[in-house]
Structure 1
Amino acid sequence: MNLPTLIILLILMAVVGAIIRKMIRDKKAGKGCSSCGGGCGGCHGATSCHSTSSRH
């Protein structure tokens, strides 16, 4: 493996790591199902992102 390939690989790993860390932080903060817009009928994570009492 040459140096430019290694540098690109390290940059890509850092970007993917940052994305995963942001997703984990958002999930812990309750932002895990942001794409449903409050109407969770069509949300793929409707059963896991909101409690049953707050589901619309």
Structure 2
Amino acid sequence: MTERGGGLVTACTWGDKGSVRTVLSADSGGDGEAAANLTRAVREAVLHEAADG
């Protein structure tokens, strides 16, 4: 988590089959686990969409 422009920005990254993705979110006081859960949800959505073609 990092502070930018007076607000907190959370960045989480994952790698999958040769690609790397980063999820950035404006955080309103959440913790690291909340950021990890958001990243997992986005990852699942991206992988699900890719599988559906």
Give the TM-score of the pair, scaled to structure 2.
0.44
- The structure that is strand-richer by fraction is 2
Q: If you compute each CA radius of gyration, which structure gives the higher value, 1 or 2? A: 1
Which structure is higher in RCO with an 8 Å CA cutoff and minimum separation 6?
2
- The structure that is helix-richer by fraction is 1
